Chains A and B, each alone.
Chain A
Amino acid sequence: MVKIGTNSFVIVAIVSSFIGAVTCIQTADNLVSPLVPLSVIGTICRDMTLLELAPTFTCVVLAGKVGSNLAGEIGSMRITEQIDAIDVMGINSSSYLILPKIIAACIMIPALCILSAFLSLMGGYMVGVFGDVITTVDFVTGLRTGFRPFNVFFALLKSLVFAFLISTIASYKGYYTYGGALEIGQASTKAVTNSVIAVLFADLVLAQVLI
């Protein structure tokens, strides 16, 4: 949990804050009509954050960080015969090594997505207010206008699915690494690319099915 969750806190915080800030600035820049109220910036920031940026963007980042870490760790255990040692003892090495990682990912990644959503909105708010793009009242009004609680559930569901995909794909790639140091690197790379593709594909399917 520490490796997957706590150690990813900083990168998720940085990415989310900046993405939220940029979303706010770009949305404001595109709102040129005086007929559209400024509070729409808050609404767009909220929906973009909840529906896409917090779960998907965070998980793409985590696919890189956590995915390569898991594949590298399990891969090096395979290469150095540590997994064989577990198997010889009569212990199910996949259950012992992979299952806790999947459970940890399924708990910590949704938690990181909640954090990401909060920091992303905070980033948007800070830049909007301190950059004289929008007032606090407008931003908060925008956040509250037309709020659908389902979107929060949708974001959490997405992050849970993505967490499962990232942890299983990375663990699989690591577990079936054979060769040496070069193959560990290749396994990590494959784990990241395959996880990212799987996350984006699952994103499309979930959006199609649930929205």
Chain B
Amino acid sequence: MIEVVNIKKSFDGRQILDGVSCKFEDSNNSLVIGASGTGKSVLLKCMVGLIKPDEGDVFYDGRSLFNSPTKEVKKLRREMGMLFQGGALFDSFTVAQNVKFPLDMLVAEMAESEKNDQVLHCLERVGLEQAAKKKPSEISGGMKKRVGIARAIVMNPKYLFCDEPNSGLDPMTSIKIDELISEITDEYKITTVVVTHDMNSVMGIGEYVMFLYNGKKEWEGDSKTILYAESQPLKDFVFASKIMEGLL
């Protein structure tokens, strides 16, 4: 379980996160939603330690991210996988080299053939075994996201973080990416946190949904209850699309 405790973060005097606390249960697809600029990505970056919060802490099965010795934090980070908004693939590497990178850097005791098998398995899992030798510049946006997912799961992580996995993708590819994330969460029994503003994702894979508004947790629940929530900012967000009104 991931427990976020009273996270506060400001940039240049502007409060981006104002005391956010929440719990993300094991083997669940948890979604953090909200309009642009509400602090979703900042929260995610605080959760993985890329940004140090001004106050608060994040606990991974009871282990503190910000108040543990460096060695423990390094160990903890190796249990995390992250899919970045743009994929964040290394331009000079092939798809297979990108996926293999964490193994090369962090797993010394594994034989080269084992590493290659693991890479192939992950690429097969995301349906990209045929693109193994291509460079990131030669593949589409959706494929980049899938390579990002393959790289994130190659170390068999306990926690998976996805920063806007659907951004820049067509609706069909978005749904495929959502399904892939959901399947991987179930298959690997990992705790997945997805930051998104796509209501299709919320309705499709949201087992736990947290709505951020002005840097604060405005609402939490699941995809079944979100349509009937009382919060006006949430209603404005959810029903901004006329299609959502049809679900009521």
Give, as a whole number of angstroms, the nearest-CB distance from A144 to chain B. Answer: 47
Report the Cα distance A84→B82, complex, angstroms: 10
What residues of chain B lie closer than 8 Å to A210, measured between beta carbons? none
Query: In chain A, what residue has the closest Cβ to B163?
Result: A81
What residues of chain A lie closer than 8 Å to B106, measured between beta carbons? 89-91
What residues of chain B lie closer than 8 Å to A77, measured between beta carbons? 90
Q: Is A147 located at the chain interface by the 8 A CB criterion? A: no
A82 close to B90 (CB less than 8 A)? yes
A88 close to B90 (CB less than 8 A)? no
Number of cross-chain contacts by CB at 8 Å = 45
Give, as a whole number of angstroms, the nearest-CB distance from A161 to chain B. Answer: 29
Q: Is B74 located at the chain interface by the 8 A CB criterion? A: yes
Range of interface residues on B (Cβ < 8 Å): 20 to 34
Report the Cα distance A58→B195, complex, angstroms: 49
A89 close to B102 (CB less than 8 A)? yes
Q: Which residues of chain B from 81 to 120 have a CB within 8 Å of any chain A CB?
A: 82, 84-86, 88-91, 101-102, 105-106
Range of interface residues on A (Cβ < 8 Å): 10 to 19
Give, as a whole number of angstroms, the nearest-CB distance from B161 to chain A. Answer: 8
B82 close to A85 (CB less than 8 A)? yes
Q: Of B49, B73, B86, B105, which contacts A96 at CB under 8 A? A: B105
B105 close to A88 (CB less than 8 A)? no
Report the Cα distance A85→B101, complex, angstroms: 11
A90 close to B77 (CB less than 8 A)? yes
Contact with B along A83-127 (1 / 0, CB 8 A): 011011111000010000000000000000000000000000000
Q: Of A82, A90, A91, A96, which contacts B88 at CB under 8 A? A: A82
Q: Of B75, B88, B91, which contacts A81 at CB under 8 A? A: B88
Q: Is A80 located at the chain interface by the 8 A CB criterion? A: yes
Q: Which residues of chain B have a CB within 8 Å of any CB of chain A?
A: 45, 48-50, 73-78, 80, 82, 84-86, 88-91, 101-102, 105-106, 151, 155, 161
Q: A82-B89, A88-B50, A89-B77 given. 17 additional CB < 8 A pairs?
A: A81-B85, A81-B86, A81-B88, A82-B91, A84-B45, A85-B82, A88-B48, A88-B49, A88-B77, A88-B82, A89-B78, A90-B73, A90-B76, A90-B77, A90-B78, A90-B106, A96-B105
